[in-house]
């Protein structure tokens, strides 16, 4: 049931609900004077810290932090129901994204929504692919190789026979590749992108 249309639709609905909840919470909190916009402007200090950044040391730091997060994620997959873990992760990420985007909009106006994209590319693309690959591997009932079989021509016959995309080692290697690319993008490419978005 997890890989059915209903299962994926529920994750999408949960993500949208988290975005709305995070956005509404921040706006109500500021209107009720519980928080100020400046309380959430840690990203300004982060941008300023990018000047003269030691990218090699930053890459090591990013790898350490993301590996620790990924390790906690896998431990939770073994302890709890994997689908529940994905639902909780989906909801938490969306709530935090709602917080973040709303803060940028309050500070910069609607262009802040565009500026928020600068914080997410390109590393979140790779992290997203990584999580999608894990989700598909865990819950898809049909073989993973069928995702890649768009033709019945002979050049794909070796994949069909070997079922290469069902191999745990291949899937693990792909996930490791996405993880490394995500860390590299976050440490080396994202700071350059942020300097463009935030002059």
pLDDT tens for residues 85-111?
A: 999 999 999 999 998 888 888 888 888
Measured distance CA(39)–CA(7) in Å, rounded:
37
Residue spans of beta strands (DSSP E) within the chain: none
E strand or H helix at 55: helix 55-79
| DSSP code at position 166 | G
Round the average pLDDT of the chain to a whole number and report it: 81
Measured distance CA(80)–CA(74) in Å, rounded:
10
pLDDT at 143 over 60: no
| Per-residue pLDDT tens digits for 7-63 | 788 889 999 999 999 899 888 888 887 777 666 666 666 777 777 788 888 999 999
């Amino acid at each position: 049931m997890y890989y059915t249309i209903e299962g994926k639709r529920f994750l999408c609905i949960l993500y949208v609900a988290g975005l709305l909840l995070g956005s509404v919470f921040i706006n109500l909190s500021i209107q009720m004077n519980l928080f100020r916009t400046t309380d959430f402007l840690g990203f300004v200090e982060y941008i300023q810290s990018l000047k003269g950044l030691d990218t090699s040391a930053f890459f090591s730091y990013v790898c350490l932090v993301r590996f620790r997060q990924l390790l906690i994620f896998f431990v939770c997959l073994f302890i709890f129901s994997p689908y529940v873990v994905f639902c909780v992760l989906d909801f938490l990420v969306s709530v935090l994204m709602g917080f973040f985007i709303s803060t940028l909009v309050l500070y910069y106006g609607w262009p802040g929504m565009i500026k928020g994209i600068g914080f997410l590319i390109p590393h979140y693309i790779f992290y997203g692919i990584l999580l999608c690959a894990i989700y598909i591997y865990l819950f898809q009932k049909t073989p993973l190789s069928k995702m890649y079989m768009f033709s019945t021509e002979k050049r794909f016959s070796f994949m069909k026979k070997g079922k290469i995309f069902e191999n745990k080692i291949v899937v693990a290697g792909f996930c490791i590749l996405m993880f490394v690319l995500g860390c590299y993008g976050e440490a080396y490419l994202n700071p350059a992108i942020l300097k463009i978005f935030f002059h």
